[in-house]
Amino acid sequence: MSNFKFLQPEWTSILKEAQEAERLTITSPMACAISCRSALEKSDFAGNVWQIVWQTKKSYNFLGL
């Protein structure tokens, strides 16, 4: 049983990382965190977050803050 079965159709590489992280949650929290980070880096979400941060930073610089 996994909380990440919804990833199966399109993102199998992310699914494997997420399931590994899920399996390691209790036994090895540090390894779980590494697997979570790896899954995030394989997704477009990480790139989108970076773009939001970059745009926000540019907006603050424009305002002279």
| Domain assignments of the chain as residue spans, ordered by start | 5-62
For 41-58, b/e burial (b = at least 16 CB within 10 A) is eeeeeeeeeeeeeeeeee
Query: How much is the pLDDT for 61?
Result: 55
pLDDT at 27 over 90: yes
The pLDDT score that the predictor gives to residue 46 is: 61
C-alpha distances in Å from residue 34, one per residue of 13, 19, 26, 38, 52:
15, 12, 14, 6, 23
User: Which 3 state secondary structure label does DSSP give 55?
Assistant: helix
Confidence band, pLDDT 50/70/90 cuts, at residue 9: confident
